[in-house]
A and B are shown apart, each in its own frame.
Chain A
């Protein structure tokens, strides 16, 4: 599968980074930065902030590459995790959190953009199917939180629902997604 070849390559580059090889670090950046920058932009909606977060994330990658364990998950997922948490922190630090999404059409773009990436398409198809089994509002909550970095508070505001309800939507959705994906 194409995705596995790519994952193997990234793993090899990660090993190079652990050995302090600058060329491996540069190649890792070259392969993954556009996807990571796209993810940061989707969360932050602001180029300069997304650039800063990308810089912070790769600096952390250089420092902490040794903590990546290929037995646990893929290199790309590890990189995304390093980046996403920083992007979400940055987003939360903003004085006021504006509602940046125009409409739920943006969420539908999830499937459209992803079909371009054939090797990742299969994983998304399975996830889409399971997301489709959730009710509309809980599904929105999951997507707004994961893709756009919404906090519980923001979800409550945007979905005009008490925060306790939103929290239990997310928890129940996670349980259902797990059953659907693993089952």
Chain B
């Protein structure tokens, strides 16, 4: 095919934007676009011309499980290696199965991860902190050989102004403060692994005044919690 004929180039770009190119032809066209900015522009112009048709599709709110699956799938890509053992986290089928179920299900699967045989290169999931509905909210992970545990929300959490989330470790005695956790993912709280405690310790996040509890003990409600399954 002669990709220099201006008329043909524009027609192919139009058919590409329509979605009419067969799979292989489309892949070829995309490779060409990567090296030919003018061709990419032709396709983009067609997409803009036809885009008003998209607005005629009635919006439908997708179920929450789709976002959870996207979030888990992309989160793991930020880790240096993605072993098979935690592939379930990004499976939409898994989240479909979890819909409505308690966090215990997630916890059971975390045990599976923690005990999964074979070389584990990715961080181990130590605990999943869920809300009262069982929806996972924070995840505690530890990279192999690392002396610290990272605690990070799995998605942005609602947090009122002048409030903070504070993390606690509870193992029989009074809750031990571990620090403030962010409401938005990407800035994990790093806690020395020893401070997190052994398997069975409960990790809890309470709502506190900005800057954390003034007393050294939780003063607000516990919003999220989960058990340490391995450390």
Contacts and interface: CB of A to CB of B under 8 A. Distances in A.
B166 to A, nearest CB: 20
A80 B156 CA distance: 24
Interface of B is mostly: helix
A160 interface: no
Contacts of B77: 62-63
Given A110-B56, A152-B20, A23 B66 contact: no
B58 A77 contact: no
Interface string B15-57: 1011110110010000000000000110011111111111111
A35 to B, nearest CB: 5
Interface of A is mostly: helix
B3 interface: no
A75 to B, nearest CB: 11
Interface in A127-183: 127, 142-143, 145-147, 149, 151-152, 170-171, 174-175, 177-178, 181
Sort chain A's interface into a size bin. 35 or more
B185 A23 contact: yes
B62 interface: yes
Contacts of A58: 70, 74
A21 B155 CA distance: 11
B147 interface: no
Interface in A1-51: 20-23, 25-26, 29, 33-35, 37-39, 41-42, 48, 50-51
Contact of A147 (B53, B66, B70): B53
